[in-house]
Copies of this chain bind each other. A is one copy, B any other.
Amino acid sequence: MSTVTTAEPTIFERRESEARSYCRSFDTVFTKASGSTLTDKEGRDYIDFLSGCSSLNYGHNDPDMKAALIEHISNDGIAHGLDMYTETKQAFLETFERLVLKPRGMEHKVMMTGPTGTNAVEAALKLARKVTGRKNVISFTNGFHGMSLGALAATGNAGKRAGAGGVSLNDMTRMPYEGSLGDDVDTLAVIEAMLDNPSSGIDAPAAFLVELIQGEGGLNAASTEWVQGIARIAKKHGALLIVDDIQAGIGRSGTFFSFDEMGIEPDLIPLAKSLSGFGLPFAALLVRPDLDIWKPAEHNGTFRGNTHAFVTARVALEKFWADDAFKTEIAEKAKVLNAALQRIADKIPGAKLKGRGMMQGVDVGSGDLAEQICAECFDNGLVIETSGAHDEVVKVLAPLTTPMEQFQKGLTILENAAQKCAPMQIAAE
């Protein structure tokens, strides 16, 4: 059935490292993609409910971005310019200022980091420590912030941490995320009690590093009250607030930033994934201007400010964020999603809805069941993945631009898969 596994080892088996992962769940060779559709070598189409883990919020090969990128390349536009000034970067920054920062009254500056989320997080951690003269950072249970050593220290997953090979992942204190201690424990009170106690052994923090919806951690969505509480505690203890909006940002939560309607202004905001709009590697750190105390090149890197990504990111902003239409569209789709997931949850004893906006899923109670559902979906032409500490959440990360009909079709495949797998699970108990 698979086009990959044959008697003779494929080139991937021969020459690609065992670290590869998604290809194991989706064992076919893809050739092209458009909108929310992936096509494989056999000509089979798949609906994409993974979106490059939220890197393709506008779908594949958006025609406007595509046209602009082709034009740029055709005209010998710069592909790589280190961090030199280019017209392309200028246009991106002006558009980002006009459509994103100014409307929100944000004075933040944009730091182009290496084009990966982990690099933007590393930059944020460095800067927070440099600014405060403190080393300790508060991060949260189930958080995921990247795989390079600094960001990995803030990542909760035991398996991923094991990759460090025993090197100390230092200067990081873990606190409970909202809800992680059960419904009856006020995690804000726990955090505050620990930090207020001068003999708690927790060093004064340089920063709190938090995702408002935990993408890898099981789609835990923090309430506005909790987020405001964290902001307040951070301020009280002289710590910066870093909101990692790499996965939940750029529209995924329903608004451009995940914190847009929460009445807080983070000090540092790492962005990546859908920032380029086209799936191109691109990351940035938004920095409150008075904290921008970097010396030139103090955090540098070769691929800061991917110029091709400047082109597509600018088009994406102009196309989707010049007015509120897109936000309204996401909200409608999120409702549809919520209703579908509720129908699924109703079929599975103990299942719970997770997340918010277009970053929702259903906790089906076990990683095995979630995996079965996703495998069944793939067999029926839907690419979808799990999330959570035990991989127990079926996670829907459809492109925000998915046409409603296709979105419904994908949800139907998912519902059928849940229907099919759920009884098996029950029978097995």
Scan A99-122; emit 1 where CB is below 8 A from any B CB, else 0: 001000000011110111111001
Size of chain A's interface in residues, with CB distance under 8 A? 156
Q: 6 closest A-B pairs (Cβ-Cβ)? A: A80-B279, A129-B165, A149-B150, A17-B111, A148-B148, A199-B389
Contact of A147 among B28, B185, B299 (CB under 8 A): B299
The answer to whether A180 touches B193, judged by C-beta atoms less than 8 angstroms apart, is yes
Q: Does A265 contact B (CB under 8 A)?
A: no
- In the complex, the chain B residue whose C-beta lies closest to that of A190 is B181
Q: Is A316 part of the contact surface with B, judged by Cβ < 8 Å? A: no
Is A84 within 8 A of B130, CB to CB?
A: no
Tell whether A33 is near chain B: CB-to-CB under 8 Å.
yes
| Chain B nearest Cβ from A161, distance in angstroms | 7
Given A18-B294, A141-B194, also A116-B117 (CB < 8 A): no
A56 within 8 A of B: yes
A339 at interface (Cβ–Cβ under 8 A)?
A: no
Whose C-beta in chain B lies nearest to the C-beta of A143? B201
Interchain CA distance A281-B115 in the complex, whole Å: 7
A197 and B32 alpha carbons, distance in the complex (Å): 39
20 inter-chain pairs at a CB distance below 8 angstroms, sorted by A residue, are A11-B90, A16-B111, A31-B86, A55-B82, A66-B73, A66-B76, A69-B73, A118-B119, A125-B165, A126-B163, A133-B165, A135-B165, A135-B167, A141-B194, A143-B201, A150-B150, A167-B171, A181-B193, A185-B185, A198-B389
Of the candidate stretches A249-257, A301-309, A326-334, A348-356, the one touching chain B is A301-309
* Interface pair A197/B180, CB less than 8 Å apart: yes
Question: A97, A149, A198: which has the most chain B beta carbons within 10 Å?
Answer: A149
Q: Scoring A residues 63 to 89 as 1 if CB is less than 8 Å from chain B, else 0, what string do you get?
A: 000100110011111111111111101
- Chain B residue nearest in CB terms to A214: B199
| Cα(A245)–Cα(B85), bound, Å | 28
A128 lies within 8 A of chain B by Cβ: yes
List of B residues within 8 angstroms of A4 by Cβ: 85
Partner of A60, one of B79, B142, B147, B217: B79
- Choice from B41, B135, B150, B199 contacting A141 with Cβ under 8 Å: B199
Report whether A156 and B201 are in contact in the complex, using a CB–CB cutoff of 8 Å. yes
Residues of B within 8 A of A390 (CB): 198
**In the complex where A15-B97, A147-B301, A165-B206 touch, is A197 in contact with B287 (Cβ < 8 A)?**
no
**A80 to B55 CA separation, bound complex (whole angstroms):** 8
Is the beta-carbon distance between A161 and B201 smaller than 8 angstroms? yes
A193 to chain B, nearest CB (A): 5
Contact with B along A174-211 (1 / 0, CB 8 A): 10100011100110011001100111111110100000
Choose among B119, B198, B273 the residue that contacts A157 (Cβ–Cβ < 8 A). Answer: B198
Given the interface pairs A142-B200, A300-B147, the reply to whether A129 lies near B81 with Cβ below 8 Å is no
Please measure, in the bound complex, the distance between the C-alpha atom of A185 and the C-alpha atom of B115, giving whole angstroms: 41
Seed contacts A116-B303, A148-B148; 18 additional CB < 8 Å A-B pairs = A11-B93, A16-B110, A19-B292, A20-B83, A32-B76, A38-B78, A41-B87, A70-B73, A122-B147, A122-B148, A142-B197, A147-B299, A147-B300, A155-B201, A163-B299, A166-B166, A174-B202, A181-B193
